[in-house]
A and B are shown apart, each in its own frame.
Chain A
């Protein structure tokens, strides 16, 4: 093991020990209390909650259809009837935003899910077995890491074809290495604890030990990482859509709304700004929530802030 690994190991084992201690007095309820104690995290939680509700019921609330064209209102500014104005086809931007929330949310959930599954499986196996398995899988992840992420996502999109499902897969793949690192690091710590040794020595099978004893102990850093990663996935989907990848134009993806309105920026700036702000707010919400979760899970920070 290299020195840097020993160092990170020492650091991680310290934090996980403190984590275990903090779990004893409060458990999950303690975690939520920790989140609620931080103002920024609460703001994040409210934004995320609002966004999730819009993604669920947005299409019911929307006054107009996402592709309905009101040609006499082309490039009209915000009005009583069309709160956020109309785009170059006269479509209601407010309604399109409500429909678009679902696309962003869907991509976020599924892309993070894909990254998490790939990262957790490889990270668990690599961290648990070590040796050449670890070397090979770490190398594979380092290789993926060596590409600028958006470039790799574009290349994967080119390979798989231009569709929303492939956007999710592409974002899922490019983000998998970060999950793998989080899980692998955490597993390395847990691997040497007495309870895992005990579980092995009473004859627990490897998958069982991993599932029942190792994985539950890496959930805390995973939740934090997933939340921050959700922010990244939403941002990546918007960027790909802005470049014209994923959703084809009539679809109300926020990123493609910004890009199709870009040509009319001077005439109708609201058509680009409203969807852009929607993206930024959503990403901000997940970033704040993820940060809050991390602070709540890290007792060292909690004491400092308290």
Chain B
């Protein structure tokens, strides 16, 4: 087991190095001079001043040197500073990560609970009208873009019913009620595709197990339906479901870019979008790396959980 975990952690390293290289190369090929961002597009500067700034930020060094320096700082926990505000990224992220984390976790809960319950129910009541309706629901959930869902939710709950604000944010520590009010619509918009994918997968994973012989045996020896479900079906179907859930939770991170933009939430997704628009390259390169690292770590955790839950892998 320990060997397995160590193996997986070691496998992460080349992927993360690759991620950092790709990020660095993309960011450095974004057209536009970062120095112009620094001095402001409207300001005039002599070539000499520009050269000085270049020197101060190490932009005149060869790219490999710049990359290694950046990695060196990252490994020491220094993500760099924004070109526009000059504030260190660690403080910026400390402000914004909680927003994105809350949004993602809320969306994961809102999505996973109905997905698991309805997915299992649909599989158990296979080929009934209920099953058919959940299938239709999942197909629609997968196909509706989250910005359309957000639009419809705002229309109904903000403009028609006037229950929830269409835009804005309040920190949880200051006003928990208002915080939830501003978070609930974005979380639902984000959760929908996740819920649909998970529900669909839960249904097919349970169906796969229901057809197995040991389930038939359990039924044949007269176990009540509930016991068959809890003891024989769910533990076996649960493992692949967990894997998909993990991958999909990580995928929610990408959706935050759009949802935070629509609802004006000051999270990481919106921050990075603004940074790309503003050519604030230290922000882009470090924040993309942080997001990808979170993504890779989540898949690692899922892998380890998987091994932990599946006795066949554990004994090895």
Contacts and interface: CB of A to CB of B under 8 A. Distances in A.
A292 B207 CA distance: 18
Interface stretch (A17-25, A149-157, A196-204): A149-157
Nearest to A281: B143
A40 interface: yes
Given A142-B15, A151-B254, A284-B143, 12 more contacts: A139-B14, A142-B18, A148-B255, A148-B292, A151-B291, A158-B276, A231-B142, A239-B145, A239-B147, A242-B258, A258-B147, A269-B155
Interface residues of B, number: 45
B212 to A, nearest CB: 14
Interface string A154-181: 1110110100000000000000000000
Interface stretch (B27-35, B75-83, B87-95, B223-231): B27-35
A248 to B, nearest CB: 15
Interface in B57-101: none
Contacts of B163: none
B276 A154 contact: yes
Interface string B249-267: 0110111011001100000
Interface of B is mostly: helix
Contacts of B19: 143, 146-147
Nearest to A142: B15
Nearest to B18: A143
Nearest to B22: A143
A39 B257 CA distance: 36
Nearest to A140: B18
B217 interface: no
B264 to A, nearest CB: 12
B291 A280 contact: no
Interface stretch (A54-62, A120-128, A259-267): A259-267
A126 to B, nearest CB: 16
A235 B145 contact: yes
A227 interface: no
6 contacts: A150-B257, A154-B257, A154-B273, A266-B159, A273-B155, A276-B145
B120 interface: no
B139 A262 contact: no
Given A235-B145, A273-B151, A276-B151, A146 B292 contact: yes
Nearest to B292: A146
Interface string A253-286: 0010011001001100100110011011101100
A155 B257 CA distance: 12
Contacts of B147: 238-239, 242, 255, 258-259, 276
B254 A148 contact: yes
Judged by DSSP, the binding face of A is helix
B258 A239 contact: yes
Contacts of A266: 155, 159
B144 A280 contact: yes
Interface string B266-288: 00000011001000000010001
Best-surrounded residue of B143, B146, B152, B154 (most CB of chain A within 10 A): B143
Contacts of B253: 148, 151
Interface of A: 40, 139-140, 142-144, 146-151, 154-156, 158-159, 161, 231, 235, 238-239, 242-243, 255, 258-259, 262, 265-266, 269, 272-273, 276-277, 279-281, 283-284, 287-288, 291
Interface in B279-313: 284, 288, 291-292, 295-296
A281 B292 CA distance: 32
B17 to A, nearest CB: 9
A231 B142 CA distance: 10
B288 A155 contact: yes
B148 interface: yes
Contacts of A40: 135, 139
A283 B23 CA distance: 30
Contacts of B113: none
Nearest to A278: B148
